[in-house]
Amino acid sequence: MTLTSSPLAINAAFDGGNIRVVSIDDAADGCRIDLEIVADHQSDFFQWFYFRVAGARAGQAITFRILNAGKSAYPFGWPGYKVRGSTDRLAWRMIDTGYADGVLEWTWTADASLGWFAYFAPYTMEQHEALVARIAAMPGVRHRELGQSLDGQAIDYLSIGTGPKQVWLYGRQHPGESMTEWWMEGALERLTDAADPVTAALLAKATFHVVPNMNPDGTRRGHLRTNAAGVNLNREWHAPSPERSPEVLCVRDAMDATGVDVAMDVHGDEAIPANFLAGYEGIPSWTDAHGEKFYDYGRRLAAHTPDFQTDKGYTKSAPGNANLSMSTNQLAERFGAVSMTLEMPFKDHDPNADPEFGWSGERSKRLAHAMLETLAGMIDEL
């Protein structure tokens, strides 16, 4: 809605949208639009935004200010961050962005009457449905609806391959981390490439179980981190329930049925400008031999692609202090899996930066390819 007689209109009432208009000041000497991000339903989490502006005049300079950015879930992620903007919802370029006194600010010089702005290149539920339809129709792919979310949306599962190693790929537990489903698209495209000899050899040794979106409700609602009940799914893996976290419950039940040898939980990180892995240090059953398999995978991946590094990342849990409500720790303890959390940046992978697009959906897809190639080179050891 708009709060003045200006022809400009702000709208986020669409799949994945999130913003609230505070004011629009469309004066002759400049235009300023003040906004707020809406918190996740029944939760204090917020950081994801996605909206459009309509009615822009050619060459008009519009300054956007998100006034409550300093109260967001991870305000330490704003310094150095750049908003993504698009006029076609296909190419999402970075826009110079400032952060000061709790306000996130950027200026767009309109080159179209419509413009879209987001925390990261969106991956909507409509895109998810199209991906699932396309991949499920491919030869050798088995699709199943594992269960339903609190809003009644499907938890889609795709199985590919016939090998004895059980590999689980799952993402979007935190719906605002949209790069995760771009990664999933890349992984699924590579796993269904019948002409790829690396894929063929990998699928002969492993069966892949893929859940591209663990949190469809949060995705559609425009949430940052939680489901329809305001629950952080990645703190439910020790005791998921139908009332709070049916999404985790149905996936973990399916994992119990197949077993898990390798698990990749795909995420995005607000602050660290690099791709990195987090492991399962601190689980009760930790052994150095088990952990070395995880570390070896990271070293091989860093050697394989400039879009990954091992210097930056999270602090490791102390012995015995792993949080078993988190999936990576739970699966390593529950199954003895080589379990890992991939974190991709909302900013850029600074060791191999792209000044126009930053870290992007396309680069997320390519990283998925590199991770599968690395896995293929050591699947027998895992």
Quick check: is 343 catalytic? Answer: yes
Contact indicator for 180, 344 with CB cutoff of 8 Å: yes
User: Is the separation of the CB atoms in 211 and 159 below 8 Å?
Assistant: no
Alpha carbon distance 209, 8 (integer Å): 46
Cβ atoms of residues 310 and 299 within 8 Å? yes
Please name which of 346, 252, 344, 357 lies closest in space to residue 305, comparing C-alpha atoms. Answer: 344
Query: Among residues 188, 377, 381, 192, which one has the least CA distance to residue 266?
Result: 188
Spatial separation of the C-alpha atoms in residues 301 and 376, rounded to whole Å: 11
Please enumerate in sequence order all residues whose Cβ is within 8 A of that of 148, keeping only pairs 6 or more positions apart, or say none: 154, 155, 246
Bridge-partner residues for 118, per DSSP? 50, 84
CA distance linking residue 167 with residue 365, whole number of Å? 18
Q: What φ, ψ does residue 331 adopt, rounded to 5°? A: -75, -35
From the candidates 36, 105, 181, 343, give the one annotated as an active-site residue: 343
Structure tokens at 103: 């306000």
Is the distance from CB of 368 to CB of 186 less than 8 angstroms?
Answer: yes
Count CA atoms closer than 13 A to 250's CA, side-chain side.
22
The answer to whether 247 and 227 are in contact (CB under 8 A) is yes
Four-residue CA torsion sign, 49, 53, 57, 63: negative
DSSP state of 368: H
Is there a contact between 244 and 228 (Cβ–Cβ < 8 Å)? Answer: no
* DSSP output for 361-381: HHHHHHHHHHHHHHHHTTGGG
Give the whole-angstrom CA distance, residue 364 versus residue 122. 13
Tokens linked to 173: 């537990």
* Residues annotated as part of the active site: 343
